């Protein structure tokens, strides 16, 4: 069974979620109760396929607290799609270093390493500084 998840928004307001399972679409305003009735939305954020330490699904544009080096300090990073490499990355907000989520099929970050902090769509100054467009 192949599942894809998406967050649905109007600008900076999350209006629900979409799951595609083997070609069938399910919608939910809260991520708990699912129906086939479509929701009204303008933007779609794709799931990066990881949950944070509180089991929250993470999506592109999410800002997370993470530790890039086991003995190092926590940093804030944002999930972005790297078009040229066709893979998800976690970009450090402070150092602007891009971290891969996996290497040769091996996950470099575990759920326990990540904690949802905010969203880039709530922080337009980051979008503008990095030249990010939805």
Torsion angle (degrees, nearest 10) of CA 80, 77, 55, 45: -30
The domain total for the chain is 1
Query: What are 50-77's pLDDT values in tens digits?
Result: 999 999 999 999 999 998 877 888 999 9
Band (110; pLDDT cuts 50, 70, 90):
confident
Domain that holds residue 8: 3-130
Beta bridge partners of 65: 76, 115
pTM, 2 dp:
0.89
């Amino acid at each position: 069974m192949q599942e894809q998840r998406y967050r649905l928004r109007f600008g900076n307001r999350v209006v629900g979620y979409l799951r595609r399972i083997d070609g069938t679409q399910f919608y939910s305003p809260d991520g708990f109760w699912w129906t086939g009735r479509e929701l009204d939305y303008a933007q779609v954020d794709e799931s990066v396929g990881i949950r944070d330490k509180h089991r929250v699904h993470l999506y592109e544009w999410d800002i997370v607290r993470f530790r890039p080096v086991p003995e190092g300090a926590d940093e804030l990073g944002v999930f972005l799609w790297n078009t040229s490499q066709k893979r998800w990355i976690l970009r450090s907000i402070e150092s602007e270093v891009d971290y891969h989520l996996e290497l040769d099929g091996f996950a470099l970050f575990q759920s326990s390493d990540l904690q949802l902090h905010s969203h880039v769509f709530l922080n337009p100054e980051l979008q503008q500084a990095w030249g990010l467009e939805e």
